């Protein structure tokens, strides 16, 4: 039997010999007769940090008790991302540190008697192994054949290393699997990407429109907080969702849309707003181009037309449009975050952008504010060499509007293909579980199989870890320094992350790993400092602060240097588009050969006995990465499949009953998932929370709990504009017993 | 469709998904307490009535079980405690609001008294028993002289003990099944019935056996009346109590309650006793054992089912 | 002084931050909780309603648990906070049986544990951990006797309810509806 060059290796209890620390019970007193008093704040120490459980990066304080053990994490009151209040995942961040299933030592793949397994290695050995392999690959294929996938702070240092080495192939799945279409759509419309956190002035809005965004279930902390403030101030919320989301339950209007028809609804809204002359006339006249073309374009897209497609009553479409117009310009049609649904996502996001433009929301109070960007100077070092290959080589000339390497593009360009003269040979993977993140697992596995080096840098043994040649155990964000957080917001702010506890086992920060590797491959001049503290202190001193100061304050704010938060009265703003105006009619899309204005196209519907798989998030988890966190699994330890009572009755399904899912391509879920019979989901769809059904046994709390939606996503609809991977065109059916005959994806 | 679910938290051991904080220890404790109450009640009653010699088993033989039952019961209660090293805290305070405190103190009084009662009759078992110490001999003589007074005290405390085994449960307003004042008398009667059955079983005197058989029949009748009344009360009460009653009227405890407790534990032994009283010979052990069996199952089911019932909001 | 809490069900998104913040603040063991979230759904698609409630000990004015306790371990603190002295608790379970809200649990170390309204924070003028972490700011805590406290103001202006009022416990956690 031929084995893959890269068999999946289950990380066994290697390194488990180290002393297992369980969460200490504070307040334990040897004198058992004494009452157990609660922990006293005044005896605690606190260390500034910013959260790494999601990309929102809230700044806060990590507290340790008298014994120096990590106790709790709270928000930093000065921080604009969190306003002193962490979300459940951030609060539960201590669980990430206390998780005994963490990676503990470096591991190297070896083959003994034909069986592949991991063996423990020293840091020096592991890093030397990588350095040697990197140099061999560089000689044979060029340095640009090494790529980095990163969804974590550590990526910055490996990115720096790769750039110094001669490769620019750095990617994050958060683009093509998540928010890419929205960035492109807003860029071609307003000449500005949204970035993170999005410049949404939710706290002052009078009308918040959520289309497929489930704020409250996705805990984008600042936005959830501002949504709550908006509710307090009496703002109207309009939610478009086939599922009665938490946000829908807070809404004045819920539009229970038939999935995959959002563009029809957007066009109908645009129609109502234009033809009933509800748009911000002055704003549109002054700042936009293409209004007449747009008006002609949506002429026939009446609410009655949309009703037949979306199943939303014309009256409801009109009323919700009036509500937006009434609030204009203090209105936000929320751009969403994970928007890669049906492959025409950039166009759908264009619809959202156009609607915001018509309502005059961009640059207005209660709409989109103008964020203040802020950068720290780079530590002095030589210039990066110019890479010989660029993203256009990786994407074979496609997706020109994407401004970054695409994860799936690199994945594709890693498989052998004679039509392409360039193939990736090595992957560094930091903080992202590509197996669960990239759709089309078979392609990912095919790519992994032909690579000459796979390095996984992570804290947890995720599914991807088993594909590595070398596994480097990264310490958690609570045990390390990282880059100073500088992100765009209402005012510029920077935040420090410093270690609150000693690294457990033999874990190291990514910065240290990258620096050591640089020394080994002869790139020391790019890391010309002795310690991470020295680097950070130098950077901070350039902006008039210091590491010492930041250790005390955690977060430091600056005044805005330019602009107001909103356009000034009488100001004629310049937009960074081809025309210098907001482009209702996109000249950029036209030039690239795409529809300059969004067009509704019909998407496939589920065949009989199948239901559209809709996935989403739970407030207690960040994708699949928190599924083993003891505190967070305590809140939610498995996902369930939401099924409408009518459907459940048809199938004879009961609450809590475990069922297996099978998708349109015959893929059966590895694990059963429990049923939740609920009115909150349409009869033509099912819903499950993403990030469960882990197949790695080393994740003792996550293994086999619930099912993986990613496994069911085998039909990927690629957005021709920017390469985004649409994942909502998958349909599942149910099995009450585990089906045996069908093809099963081996894990 | 209505849904009400915990979306996080609430996986507390023995609390969720259904309350199950009391296991076998409490029903055993309640049974043994009830049995001891019954035994001591009849012993003291017939002493007070001056029929000590007529009903020798009731007054002199059967009560020997009481101290053992009480000690075992207390031990079961101790096993139920989850913070055992702090057991003594029970006796640092008297809390009249708390049936648990009440019971602890009642047992503190009844258990020594039961030992004293057995000691006073020890010569029935060991005719050549010698107390050896002068002081003890004097004390015994004094107690023998004041046996009537002692009997009165035991009579009162045995009733308190019997009622207490029911009140321990009925004081919990939060458990709809227990939240009925009929539980006190019901447990008392049930306890007396198990006591009477034990006396009947131990007695070698036909007259005494017949008396306790008759007493038992009467107690069973009263018990059945209380049980019917209990469910009538529930069904005429609030939603949560109707829900509670449903566990016994079609729900998960229907079979075990009506077959084991009412059928095998009450109606079958009652029928056997009627047959016996009508002249046909039935070994006395059978109805007596069935009554004891019914008594213990009754307490298991009440404790178990009560924890399942809860407030809905 | 009478401490109370008001929780706005219209703002709560059920994120469970209160649950995990309580767990870390009070070192509640993994697998246990002092507070929890209930989601109540009513209606038929698409006419639906959801009520989200963060629930915990109600610190009742007429606490059955304090009455049920045989040792006095369960007691009222200043401001009516219901708490347990761990070193007086024998773990008999009577208080657990007596609570209509199932708000108490048996700590693995043997004693009974429950929400304390974070009196160790309240004493210092801080808010309970759950209140101060809530991202939607949907929880209000304060003194009912002080008519300017957050909680008094909310109860004055908003419609509210308590849980299982028929149990007669006079709960001090109010739900704004």
DSSP state of A179: I
CA A629: distance to chain centroid? 18
The pLDDT, as a whole number, for residue A423 is: 85
- pLDDT for residue C131: 97
Domain boundaries defined on chain B:
25-308
Bridge partners (DSSP) listed for residue A478 = none
Q: Which residues of C touch B243 (CB under 8 A)?
A: none
Evaluate whether A427 touches A463 at the Cβ level (below 8 Å). Answer: no
| pLDDT of the residue at A108 | 96
Domain spanning B25-308: CATH superfamily: Formate dehydrogenase/DMSO reductase domain (1.20.1630.10)
The answer to whether C135 contacts A73, with C-beta atoms less than 8 Å apart, is no
Residue boundaries of the structural domains of chain A? 182-371+576-591, 611-735
CA gap A164, A146 in Å, rounded: 12
Does the CB of B3 have a partner CB in chain A at under 8 Å? yes
Give yes or no for residue C35 having a pLDDT over 50.
yes
- Over residues B1-49, the pLDDT tens digits come to 899 999 998 889 999 889 999 999 999 999 999 999 999 999 999 999 9
- DSSP class of A342: S
- Across residues B126-135, what is the average pLDDT? 88
Closest chain B CA to residue A644 = B1
Q: Do B172 and C35 touch (CB under 8 A)?
A: no
Within 103-132 of C, beta carbons closer than 8 Å to B belong to 104-106, 108-112
Q: Which of B3, B8, B85 sits opposite A678 (nearest CB)?
A: B3
State the pLDDT at residue B311.
Answer: 84
Cβ contact (<8 Å) for B1 and A636?
A: no
Show which subunits contact C, needing at least 3 CB pairs below 8 angstroms: A, B
Mean pLDDT to the nearest integer, B149-156: 96
Per CB-CB distance under 8 Å, the chain C contacts of B307 are 97
- Chain C residues in contact with B98 (beta carbon < 8 A): 67-70, 94
Cβ–Cβ gap A246/C136 under 8 Å = no
Contact in structure between A190 and A288 (CB atoms under 8 Å) = no
Residues of C in Cβ contact (< 8 Å) with B93 = 71-72
Classify domain A182-371+576-591 at the CATH superfamily level: Dimethylsulfoxide Reductase, domain 2 (3.40.228.10)
Which pLDDT tens digit goes with each residue over B254-280? 999 999 999 999 999 999 999 988 888
Whole-number pLDDT of residue A569:
86
pLDDT at site A13: 43
Closest residue to B8, CB basis, from A620, A677, A679: A620
Q: Counting one residue from A and one from B, how many pairs have CB atoms under 8 Å apart?
A: 15
> What is the nearest CA distance from A251 to chain B, expressed in angstroms?
20
Closest to A636 (Cβ–Cβ): which among B1, B8, B85? Answer: B8
Residue pLDDT, tens place only, B210-238: 999 999 999 999 999 999 999 999 999 98
Using the beta-carbon criterion (under 8 Å), do A225 and C133 form an inter-chain contact? no
Per-residue model confidence (pLDDT) at position A10:
56
Residues 6+ apart with CB under 8 A from A144: A166, A167, A168, A169, A387, A388, A389
Predicted local confidence at residue A210, as pLDDT:
97
Of B8, B13, B97, nearest to C16 by CB-CB distance is: B8
Query: Mind telling me how many Å the CA of C66 is from chain A's nearest CA?
Result: 18
State the Cα–Cα distance between residues C8 and C150, nearest whole angstrom: 12
Contact C88 B89 (CB under 8 A): yes
**Inter-chain contact C93–B80, Cβ cutoff 8 Å?**
yes
C-contacting residues of A 232-291, CB under 8 Å?
232, 244, 246-250, 254, 256
Taking 50 as the pLDDT cut, the residues of chain A under it are 1-3, 12-30, 742-747
Of C11, C24, C29, the CB nearest to A91: C24
**Cβ C86–A631 below 8 Å, yes or no?**
no
Inter-chain residue contact C52 with A246, CB threshold 8 Å: yes
Identify the pLDDT of residue A11: 53
B209 Cβ contact partners less than 8 Å away, ≥ 6 residues apart: B200, B203, B284
Contact C24 A86 (CB under 8 A): no
**Class of the domain covering C3-176:** alpha beta
Nearest to B12 among C32, C89, C166 (CB): C32
For the domain made up of A611-735, give the CATH fold. Barwin-like endoglucanases (2.40.40)
Instruction: Note whether B3 contacts A620, CB cutoff 8 Å.
Output: no
Determine the pLDDT at residue A2: 44
* Closest Cα in chain B, distance from residue A612 (Å): 22
DSSP state of A336: -
* pLDDT reported for residue A5: 55
Distance to chain C for B85, nearest Cα, Å: 8
């Amino acid at each position: 039997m031929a084995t893959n060059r890269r068999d999946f290796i289950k990380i066994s209890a290697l390194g488990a010999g180290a002393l297992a620390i369980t969460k200490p019970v504070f307040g334990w007193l040897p004198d058992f007769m004494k009452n157990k008093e609660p922990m006293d704040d005044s005896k605690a120490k606190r260390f500034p940090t910013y959260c790494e459980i999601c990309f929102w990066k809230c700044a806060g304080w990590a507290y340790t008790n008298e014994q120096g053990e990590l106790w709790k994490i709270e928000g930093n009151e000065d921080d604009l991302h969190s306003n002193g209040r962490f979300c459940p995942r951030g609060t539960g961040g201590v669980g990430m540190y206390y998780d005994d299933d963490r990676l503990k030592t470096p591991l190297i793949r070896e083959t003994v008697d034909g069986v592949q397994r991991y063996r423990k290695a020293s840091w020096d050995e592991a890093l030397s192994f990588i350095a040697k392999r990197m140099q061999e690959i560089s000689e044979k294929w060029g340095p640009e054949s090494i790529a980095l996938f990163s969804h974590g702070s550590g990526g910055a240092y490996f990115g720096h290393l790769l750039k110094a080495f001669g490769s620019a192939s750095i990617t994050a799945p958060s683009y093509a699997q998540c928010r890419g279409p929205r960035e492109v759509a807003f860029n071609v419309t307003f000449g500005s990407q949204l970035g993170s956190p999005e410049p949404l002035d939710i706290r002052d809005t009078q009308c918040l429109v959520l289309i497929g965004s489930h704020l409250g279930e996705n805990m984008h902390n600042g936005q959830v907080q501002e949504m709550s403030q908006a509710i307090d101030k009496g703002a109207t919320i309009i939610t478009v969702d086939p599922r009665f989301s938490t946000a829908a339950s807070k809404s004045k209007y819920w539009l229970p849309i038939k999935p995959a028809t959002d563009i029809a609804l957007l066009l109908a809204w645009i129609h109502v707003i234009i033809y009933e002359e509800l748009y911000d006339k002055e704003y549109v006249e002054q700042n936009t181009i293409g209004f007449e073309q747009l008006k002609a374009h949506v002429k026939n897209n009446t609410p009655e037309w949309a009703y037949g497609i979306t199943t939303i009553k014309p009256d409801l479409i009109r009323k919700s449009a009036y509500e937006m117009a009434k609030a204009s310009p203090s209105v936000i049609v929320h751009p969403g975050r994970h928007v890669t649904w049906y492959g025409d996502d950039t166009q759908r996001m264009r619809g959202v952008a156009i609607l915001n433009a018509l309502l005059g929301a961009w640059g207005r109070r209660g709409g989109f504010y103008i964020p203040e960007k802020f950068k720290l100077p780079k530590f002095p070092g030589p210039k990066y060499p110019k890479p010989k290959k660029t993203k256009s080589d990786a994407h074979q000339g496609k997706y020109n509007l994407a401004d970054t390497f695409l994860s799936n593009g690199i994945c594709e360009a890693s498989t052998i293909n004679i039509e392409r003269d360039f193939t990736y040979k090595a992957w560094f993977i930091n903080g992202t579980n590509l197996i669960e993140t990239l759709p089309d697992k078979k392609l990912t596995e095919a790519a992994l199989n032909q690579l000459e080096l796979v390095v996984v840098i992570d804290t947890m043994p995720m599914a991807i870890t088993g594909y590595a040649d070398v596994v480097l155990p990264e310490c958690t964000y609570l045990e390390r320094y990282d880059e100073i957080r500088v992100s765009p917001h209402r005012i510029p702010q920077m935040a420090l992350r410093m270690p609150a506890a000693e690294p457990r086992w033999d874990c190291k920060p990514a910065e240290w790993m990258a620096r050591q590797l640089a020394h080994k491959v002869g790139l020391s001049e790019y890391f010309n400092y002795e310690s991470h503290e020295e680097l950070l202190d130098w950077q901070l001193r350039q902006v008039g602060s210091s590491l010492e100061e930041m250790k005390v304050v955690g977060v430091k704010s600056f005044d805005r240097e330019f602009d107001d938060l909103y356009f000034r009265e009488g100001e004629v703003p310049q937009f960074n588009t081809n025309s210098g105006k907001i482009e209702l009619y996109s000249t950029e899309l036209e030039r690239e050969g795409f529809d300059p204005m969004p067009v509704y196209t019909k998407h496939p519907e589920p065949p009989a006995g199948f239901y559209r798989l809709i996935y989403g998030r739970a407030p207690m988890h960040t994708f699949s990465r928190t599924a083993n966190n003891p505190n967070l699994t305590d809140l939610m330890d498995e996902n369930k499949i939401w099924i409408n009572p009518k459907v459940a009755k048809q199938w004879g399904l009961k609450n809590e009953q475990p069922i297996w899912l099978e998708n349109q391509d015959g893929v059966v879920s590895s694990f059963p998932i429990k049923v939740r019979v609920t009115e909150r989901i349409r009869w033509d769809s099912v819903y499950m929370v993403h990030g469960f059904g882990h197949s790695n046994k080393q994740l003792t709390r996550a293994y086999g709990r619930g099912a993986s939606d990613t496994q069911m996503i085998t039909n990927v609809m690629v957005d021709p504009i920017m390469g985004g991977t649409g994942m909502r065109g998958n349909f599942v059916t149910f099995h009450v017993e585990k089906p045996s005959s069908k093809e099963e994806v081996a894990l | 469709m209505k849904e009400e679910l915990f979306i996080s938290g609430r996986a507390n051991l023995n609390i969720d998904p259904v309350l199950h904080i009391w296991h076998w220890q409490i029903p055993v404790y309640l049974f043994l307490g009830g049995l001891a109450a019954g035994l001591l009640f009849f012993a003291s009653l017939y002493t007070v009535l001056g029929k000590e010699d007529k009903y020798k088993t009731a007054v002199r033989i059967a009560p020997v079980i009481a101290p053992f039952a009480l000690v075992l019961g207390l031990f079961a209660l101790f096993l139920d405690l989850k913070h055992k090293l702090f057991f003594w805290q029970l006796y640092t305070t008297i809390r009249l609001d708390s049936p648990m405190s009440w019971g602890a103190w009642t047992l503190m009084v009844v258990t020594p008294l039961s030992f004293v009662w057995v000691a006073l009759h020890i010569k029935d078992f060991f005719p050549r028993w010698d107390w050896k110490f002068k002081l003890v001999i004097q004390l015994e003589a004094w107690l023998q002289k004041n046996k009537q007074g002692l009997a009165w005290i035991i009579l009162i405390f045995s009733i308190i003990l019997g009622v207490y085994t029911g009140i321990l449960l009925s004081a919990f307003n939060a458990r709809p099944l227990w939240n009925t004042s009929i539980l006190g008398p019901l447990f008392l009667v049930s306890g007396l019935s198990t006591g009477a059955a034990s006396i009947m079983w131990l007695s070698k005197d036909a007259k005494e056996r017949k008396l306790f058989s008759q007493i038992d029949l009467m107690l069973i009748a009263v018990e059945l009346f209380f049980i019917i009344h209990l469910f009538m009360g529930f069904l005429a009460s609030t939603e949560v109590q109707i829900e509670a009653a449903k566990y016994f009227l079609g729900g998960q405890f229907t079979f075990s309650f009506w077959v084991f407790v009412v059928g095998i534990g009450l109606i079958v032994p009652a029928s056997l006793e009627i047959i016996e009283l009508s002249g046909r010979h039935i070994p006395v052990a059978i109805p007596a054992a069935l009554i004891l069996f019914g008594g213990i199952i009754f307490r298991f089911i009440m404790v178990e089912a009560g924890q399942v019932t809860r407030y809905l909001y | 002084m009478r401490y109370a809490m008001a929780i706005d069900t219209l703002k709560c998104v059920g994120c469970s931050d209160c649950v995990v913040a309580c767990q870390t603040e009070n070192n509640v063991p993994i697998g246990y909780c002092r507070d929890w979230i209930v989601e109540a759904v009513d209606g038929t698609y698409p006419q639906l309603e959801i009520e989200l409630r963060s629930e915990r000990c109600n610190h009742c004015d007429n606490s059955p648990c304090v009455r049920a306790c045989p040792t006095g371990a369960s007691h009222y603190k200043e401001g009516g906070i219901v708490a347990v002295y761990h070193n007086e608790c024998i773990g008999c379970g009577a208080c657990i049986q007596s609570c209509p809200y199932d708000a108490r649990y048996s700590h693995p170390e043997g004693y009974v544990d429950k929400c304390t309204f974070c009196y160790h924070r309240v004493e210092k003028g801080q808010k309970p951990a759950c209140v101060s972490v809530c991202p939607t700011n949907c929880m209000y805590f304060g003194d009912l006797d002080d008519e300017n406290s957050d909680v008094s103001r909310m109860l004055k202006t908003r419609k509210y309810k308590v849980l299982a009022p028929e149990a007669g416990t006079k709960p001090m956690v109010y739900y704004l509806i």
